[in-house]
Amino acid sequence: MAFDPQPWAVVEKRLDLDMLAQTESIFALSNGHLGLRGNFDEGEPRGLSGTYLNGFYESYPLAYGESGFGFAEDGQAVVNVTDGKIIRLLVEDEPFDVHRGHLEFHERTLDFRTGILTREVRWRSEAGHGVRVKSERLVSFVDRSVAAIRYEVEALEQPVRVAVQSNLQANPSDQAGVSDPRAGRALGDVLDPILDVEHDLRVVLAHKTKRSQLHFAAGMEHTIECTGDATTLTQCEPDLGRVTISVGLTPGQPLRVTKLLAYHWSAHQSIDWLRDQVDASLEVAGSQGFDELAEHQKDYLDDYWERANIEVDGDPELQQALRFAQFHLLQASARAETRAIPAKGLTGPGYDGHAFWDTEAFVLPILNFTKPDAAKAALMWRHRILPSARERAQQLGLKGAAMPWRTIHGEECSGYWPAGTAAFHVNADIAWAVERYVANTGDEEFERGPGLDLLVESARLWLHLGHWGADGAFHIHGVTGPDEYSALVDDNVYTNLMAAKNLAAAASAATRHRSDAARLDVVPKEVREWHEAAEAIYLPFDERVDVHPQDQDFLTHDLWDFDGTPLEKYPLLLHYPYFELYRQQVVKQADLVLALFLCGERFTLEQKRAAFQYYEALTVRDSSLSACTQSIVAAEVGHTELAYDYLAEAAFMDIHDLEHNVSDGLHIASLAGSVMAAVCGMGGMREYDHKLVFRPRLARALERLAFRMTVRGSLLNIEVRHEEATYELMEGEAITIFHHGEKLALTPGRPVTRPIPEAESLPRPSQPKGREPVRRGSYASGRSGAAAPTVRLSR
Amino acid sequence: MAFDPQPWAVVEKRLDLDMLAQTESIFALSNGHLGLRGNFDEGEPRGLSGTYLNGFYESYPLAYGESGFGFAEDGQAVVNVTDGKIIRLLVEDEPFDVHRGHLEFHERTLDFRTGILTREVRWRSEAGHGVRVKSERLVSFVDRSVAAIRYEVEALEQPVRVAVQSNLQANPSDQAGVSDPRAGRALGDVLDPILDVEHDLRVVLAHKTKRSQLHFAAGMEHTIECTGDATTLTQCEPDLGRVTISVGLTPGQPLRVTKLLAYHWSAHQSIDWLRDQVDASLEVAGSQGFDELAEHQKDYLDDYWERANIEVDGDPELQQALRFAQFHLLQASARAETRAIPAKGLTGPGYDGHAFWDTEAFVLPILNFTKPDAAKAALMWRHRILPSARERAQQLGLKGAAMPWRTIHGEECSGYWPAGTAAFHVNADIAWAVERYVANTGDEEFERGPGLDLLVESARLWLHLGHWGADGAFHIHGVTGPDEYSALVDDNVYTNLMAAKNLAAAASAATRHRSDAARLDVVPKEVREWHEAAEAIYLPFDERVDVHPQDQDFLTHDLWDFDGTPLEKYPLLLHYPYFELYRQQVVKQADLVLALFLCGERFTLEQKRAAFQYYEALTVRDSSLSACTQSIVAAEVGHTELAYDYLAEAAFMDIHDLEHNVSDGLHIASLAGSVMAAVCGMGGMREYDHKLVFRPRLARALERLAFRMTVRGSLLNIEVRHEEATYELMEGEAITIFHHGEKLALTPGRPVTRPIPEAESLPRPSQPKGREPVRRGSYASGRSGAAAPTVRLSR
């Protein structure tokens, strides 16, 4: 895939049918509640047809070759609900199909400022009839249940008779499952029809899932503009609603169909209720019309970009990729509202539509600064599933709450516990997100309420999971850290330090809000125990090589034979058994290096340098969550050019499909990670002890990096150039920041510029053979809007 | 279950229908090729109906909640084949059914010297018709495919008309699966009928499995003896063969039906071939008749007992239990002939009929001394599956051969790899069995051939699995040892030491048999590497507590909260997640303690004492394979009375159903373990460096222990009393042994008696609360043939 490096859009100039599924993900529209993959209006050809409602899932029994106590019993998978995107076109007696006839022009544009996906087509049938088709599609950020499509078809040289079929289609006969464990599960037809009604140009269908017993209703309404006499036919069946419009067109006088869609679902409400909601939403949307919906969409996005915009001068592809990331980040989270932010957002069925720890570790930190209400809503979802997490802890014989490793509805759905249930760090990641959200917003009401609940129950878990060793330190054994090429290890540094943060945060919050803590039966002794465990957390260090081991035993393991590993054997997890991966020194994704970033206060610069160097040589980046973290730490320890290479890799991950699996959805956490890599990597932003510090440093090839962030209501604009950085308070109260160690007071209307100290010159670390990041810095410099993307992972 | 403690039989005097499934296992007959559970002749009531052919299995796809590279893809389960045991009886118009009418007498006897299961019944129908029924059943040790039943029915006071229906029944409608992961998998009707033919009183049915595509044929033939005029009817259907005999009986003139059964199966031969074999076997059996078959059976067993007999004076229950163990050990292995010896023998569907490591670690050591041809045959099975094991290693990216953790046909069937594939010690256990078999028999032809193949391929695996650490030692990381409450550990002592034995044995054999080794492309460098790795194997030791850790990190883990664990939560694996078990100090079964036994030469007596004491406090014996090992090491380090308690527990495991799961089959390895506990525990037998040493010491309650063993063709009889032991060479060439350190030369006809030195007095070690073994020594003394068994595990 090669997109023009436009700063505010992804434009596909040439249709590549081999890349259909990938572009469906890239052109997906969503508001966090309703998601439409970028399927063609006419429905086919398709990679994966997809329409998703956040939180709407089907469950299925999880089978095991050999089961064990506490293994998750039920899986949950996102459901491809009724497809309202379909608008088929018949030109004279031939269906418009990009496979047939002559496609003279085909362009798709996703505009980050309008939030509209536009498609323009010029097509000539086998019989020679030419038409121009233009469709505009939006999923409204303002009207949460509503999507709209404006579909225009015009005869080219000669009059033609066309028929437009606008469908609602449930239970499509789609593709079977695939063997990649990261892809979604194909459950077949899971929707039982309950209701189908039509009225004029409106159809409403309602279905329920067979096993999870969730209900939803989907409706479509139409307006038609044309000069000729159009005939219409409205039909409905249990799994199909269809409005057919037939009209003779003359050149210059197009047919314009506006299709409004509304979706509502519930586990509790009756079908009648849901149907009424759908009809009401269609009325509200209809009263606005497409133009007004589009206008509101634009306003919403203007406001977002005002607070989130990142600018990169000197690398148009990176500029585009970062805005692409920010746009999809918003799409995944804006209106999720106490539902999860899934790993793939609502862009595809990958990972079964589950949410994981990376939402808290990668996505929320960015939302905190750019869309704090969405960060809060995501944490409210965690709070909503706290009862399930308490139950899970009890089932496992643990204390407090054990958050699921992967889930939609709250129950643990991990079918492989060593890389699921055992990865308890998810609890500390959530606690950390709570702490960061409260610190960044000052939302005390949240802290005293749901925040405290989350902190206390996770602290209780850690106190149970850990134990006091004979060495007087607090140890946590037998858990799995972020790196999935190790499992069930003792004293994983990341887990230990994040658990200590969790324990300390709970102790602090419970001390500051005693009466609220009493609600949870927190007693002083318990707080003392949290505090003591946090203080005494064990941090292994290997004196022999002067490096922190990823876990207690990691550095004693054999080194993976990287030189003997052919490139086609990556990602390793698809070609080697866990057994081999676990017992050797090979790292899927930043783990100790993620600790260097998130728990940076625990390490000296020298320790960070040594550790980064060591783990660089072992990290194969088989996870999309690695490059962003490596970029950040590379920047911090002084490898600015390497940081740039990793930033580009992180940013291009999805828009250029570096991992070859964007077909089943975008990697939302990786997209957030690329923004984080820009802000915390080259931007050098950190928050330590309520202090906001910057140590920016620009890669040679770039001219300027600027980004915005809101901290406790104050909107900052940070501009980084090679020699200096400028900090400006755009809005809100005065704020203190640090620039390369210097304290700066920012007041309204008074930007502060400070020089950036010269960087040390360090030798570049080496990576496993064949897994080196592409060097971007060396040749991106000086180019303007070049054509092809210049980054590829070498496989 | 309470059986009279008869020395040569299990006699059930009173029918307990709640114990039906358990007694079906206990009364199971088998010759290692064909197995019949002890179901009633009339087929019902039944616990689990079972007829098994060794190696005959159905496969099924193994499902995973989340799959991973190298996960076993297919399961294999033993098939309940066509049931030939069924003989139903109609008395006038009422079916003989122990549930109905009046059961005036019911006794079942399994005689270890005749190998015949006898059942005697006196029953009166609701209408008052009385009959005596006697059945005798045998599975021939001599005619491998043949079983025979002699069924006699006699009118009691008045004439009655009876009908006897003798059936062959395939695809019975049986019970569904159960949730205990140790039980077998219910696959439903897996047999497709191919052929059913009848001729006179003979029926032959042939079937094939649906997925594994194995064929078998089963046939029955009958002879009838009676005075009246009997009518007969022979019928056959695809899943049913039936011979019905109807006759009027007068008291004193019984009907006697002899039913001969023959079974043949194959993966390759045609159905015609198999049918011919069945008919031929029936002819051969028919030409002998029941009496002659029984006579050959007796001869076979006389010979066995001559070489295997154990005598225990002073504890009749133990005497019975040990002979029960020896009898079933023979039944499981006698005619297996290049098929596996499954964990449950052919006594039930438990563990899906799979064979595990414990065959080599527990069963073969006993067979080596008592039935060496069966030990050899079992190793030949391992040799037969070597190609699968090589393939498996290759699939996993390993060198050499990786033997399956559990299998019937050779392919890995473990559906949970951390306790399956990762338990690589199975390879060393097999190598050790090869080494012991060769040492005990001097079978050089085997050593140069299959033995060398097995040693070399497993040594290659170990050299790949291990690595040289910075400390100059050879380490093995990330594997699972025998204790299934730990997994994926570094430097498991048992695995390391057994791997070292394996490497050394391979090096030695390849050096001694260079030309044979050349067949396997063994080069001197490779042999040197094996030797070096064996020499440098890492043996962790914790100076802090002066104990060998089970694995590198074991002693740093938190202690399991035994005091907080209620008794009903045992076995722990059914009530706690692996996660909790793995990361704490809790031991399912002897692991380090098994190393103390099998690799005893690596530890000093003081180290053994300290380790035994330490692990006693952590070992919950949730595995049937624990007590026997604990008995042996307890005896060695000086806890003679505790050794006796564990010996009794091991010996009573199945005959008194201590683990509450004998219903799905006997634990063959545990039965062997109990014999081993007698011989190596109180008998104090060890083999170090080709030396046969004894350090016998008798528990107070016993008067005498005697056992026989054949070493390199020399049959020894060892008699242990409190003050002295007598060694006698019964047959074969002179041999040197050691008695408590003293070298003794044994020559024919000259028994040698030596005093047993006084034992040290040691404090008794403690066990986890509620898991202490029942103290047998304290009260068994002086009792004669008491009624109820006096050992119960306290749950």
Q: What is the pLDDT of residues B381-426, one digit of tens each?
A: 999 999 999 999 999 999 999 999 999 999 999 999 999 999 999 9
Contact (CB<8Å) A490/B578 = no
Does the structure show a pLDDT above 60 at A68?
A: yes
pLDDT for the residue numbered A187: 77
Pseudo-torsion of CA A270, A273, A278, A281, nearest 10°?
-140
In this prediction, residue A792 has a pLDDT band, given cuts at 50, 70 and 90, of very low
> Average pLDDT of A86-111?
96
% of chain B at pLDDT higher than 90: 92
Instruction: Give residue A621's Cα distance to chain centre.
Output: 18
Instruction: Give residue A164's Cα distance to chain centre.
Output: 35
pLDDT for the residue numbered B1: 65
- What mean pLDDT, rounded, does chain A reach? 94
Contact (CB<8Å) A417/B577 = yes
Distance set, CA B17 to CA B20, B24, B653, B674 (Å): 5, 11, 20, 28
Partners of residue A70 in chain B, C-beta under 8 Å: 576-579
Contact (CB<8Å) B68/A573 = yes
Distance from CA of A68 to the nearest CA of B (A): 7
A73 → chain B, closest CA residue? B65
pLDDT for the residue numbered A189: 84
DSSP one-letter string for B617-672: TTB---STTSHHHHHHHHHHHT-HHHHHHHHHHHHHHHHTTTTS-GGG---HHHHH
Does the structure show a pLDDT above 50 at A791?
A: no
Who among A66, A72, A398 is closest to B416 (CB)? A66
Strands (DSSP E) found in A374-445: none
pLDDT in tens, B423-479: 999 999 999 999 999 999 999 999 999 999 999 999 999 999 999 999 999 999 999
From the CA atom positions of chain A, what is the Rg in Å?
Answer: 27
> Which residues 372-411 of A are in CB contact (within 8 Å) with B?
396-398
In this prediction, residue A178 has a pLDDT band, given cuts at 50, 70 and 90, of very low
The DSSP letter of residue A97 is -
Who among A416, A422, A469 is closest to B66 (CB)? A416
A581 → chain B, closest CA residue? B478
Helices (H), B340-403: 358, 364-370, 372-384, 386-395
pLDDT in tens, B148-180: 999 999 999 999 999 999 999 999 876 444 445
Contact (CB<8Å) B68/A396 = no
> Average pLDDT of A773-790?
54
Partners of residue B415 in chain A, C-beta under 8 Å: 64-66
Q: Could you count the other beta carbons within 10 Å of the beta carbon of residue A209?
A: 21
Sequence-separated (6 or more) residues with CB below 8 Å from residue B758: none
Instruction: Give residue B13's Cα distance to chain centre.
Output: 26
Who among B69, B478, B574 is closest to A69 (CB)? B574
From the CA atom positions of chain B, what is the Rg in Å?
Answer: 27
Does the structure show a pLDDT above 50 at A176?
A: no
Catalytic, out of A154, A317, A484, A636 = A484
pLDDT for the residue numbered B791: 38
Who among B470, B475, B576 is closest to A544 (CB)? B470
Instruction: Give residue A99's Cα distance to chain centre.
Output: 33
Does the structure show a pLDDT above 80 at B185?
A: no
pLDDT for the residue numbered A2: 74
Instruction: Give residue B673's Cα distance to chain centre.
Output: 9
Q: Are strands B724-731 and B714-720 parallel, antiparallel or unpaired?
A: antiparallel
Does the structure show a pLDDT above 80 at B783?
A: no
> Average pLDDT of B279-300?
98
How many CB pairs (< 8 A) connect A and B? 163
pTM of the model: 0.93
pLDDT for the residue numbered A660: 85
Biggest CA–CA distance in chain B, Å, is 89
In this prediction, residue B184 has a pLDDT band, given cuts at 50, 70 and 90, of low
pLDDT in tens, B573-591: 999 999 999 999 999 999 9
Q: Is B564 helix (H, G, I), strand (E, B) or coil?
A: coil
- What mean pLDDT, rounded, does chain B reach? 94
Burial A264-291, CB ≥16 within 10 A → b, else e? bbbeeeebeebbebbbebbeebbebebe
% of chain A at pLDDT higher than 70: 96
Q: Looking at the complex, does the CB of residue B418 fall below 8 Å from at least one CB of chain A? A: yes
CA angle B554, B558, B561 (to 5 degrees): 120
Partners of residue B67 in chain A, C-beta under 8 Å: 181
Q: Could you count the other beta carbons within 10 Å of the beta carbon of residue A200?
A: 10
Instruction: Give residue A736's Cα distance to chain centre.
Output: 31
The DSSP letter of residue B773 is P
At residue A280, φ and ψ (nearest 5 deg) are: -65, -45
Who among A69, A470, A475 is closest to B573 (CB)? A69
Distance from CA of B455 to the nearest CA of A (A): 22
Q: Looking at the complex, does the CB of residue B738 fall below 8 Å from at least one CB of chain A? A: no
% of chain A at pLDDT higher than 90: 92
Kindly tell me the sign of the dihedral angle through the C-alpha atoms of B366, B369, B370, B375: positive
Distance set, CA A407 to CA A71, A74, A498 (Å): 14, 10, 22
A466 → chain B, closest CA residue? B558
> Average pLDDT of B41-62?
96
Pseudo-torsion of CA B135, B138, B139, B141, nearest 10°?
-170
d(CA B170, CA B203): 13
> Average pLDDT of A715-733?
97
Distance set, CA B547 to CA B493, B497, B594, B601 (Å): 12, 16, 15, 16
Partners of residue A556 in chain B, C-beta under 8 Å: 469-470, 475, 477, 490, 552
Who among A487, A556, A573 is closest to B469 (CB)? A556
Contact (CB<8Å) B488/A582 = yes
Instruction: Give residue B404's Cα distance to chain centre.
Output: 18
B484 is catalytic: yes
pLDDT for the residue numbered A659: 83
Distance set, CA A678 to CA A629, A640, A685, A746, B600 (Å): 11, 12, 9, 22, 61
Q: Looking at the complex, does the CB of residue A564 fall below 8 Å from at least one CB of chain B? A: no
Query: Which of B166, B146, B141 lies closest to B282, judged by CA?
Result: B146
> Which residues 59-88 of B are in CB contact (within 8 Å) with A?
62-72, 75
Partners of residue A398 in chain B, C-beta under 8 Å: 580
Contact (CB<8Å) A576/B397 = yes
pLDDT for the residue numbered B643: 97
Query: Which of B662, B479, B480, B482 lies closest to B589, judged by CA?
Result: B482
Q: Looking at the complex, does the CB of residue A464 fall below 8 Å from at least one CB of chain B? A: no
Burial A700-732, CB ≥16 within 10 A → b, else e? ebbeebbbbbbbeebbbbbbbbeeebebbbbee
d(CA A652, CA A670): 10
> Which residues 181-240 of A are in CB contact (within 8 Å) with B?
181
User: Omega before A571 cis (within 30°)?
Assistant: yes
Look up residue A234 and give its two tokens: 């409205």
> Which residues 470-529 of A are in CB contact (within 8 Å) with B?
470, 475, 477-479, 487-488, 490
pLDDT for the residue numbered A174: 61
Contact (CB<8Å) A556/B69 = no
pLDDT in tens, B236-273: 999 999 999 999 999 999 999 999 999 999 999 999 99
Partners of residue B543 in chain A, C-beta under 8 Å: none
Sequence-separated (6 or more) residues with CB below 8 Å from residue A7: A316, A319, A320, A323
The DSSP letter of residue A344 is T
Does the structure show a pLDDT above 60 at B2?
A: yes
Partners of residue A584 in chain B, C-beta under 8 Å: 477-478
Query: Which of A791, A793, A785, A792 lies closest to A9, judged by CA?
Result: A785
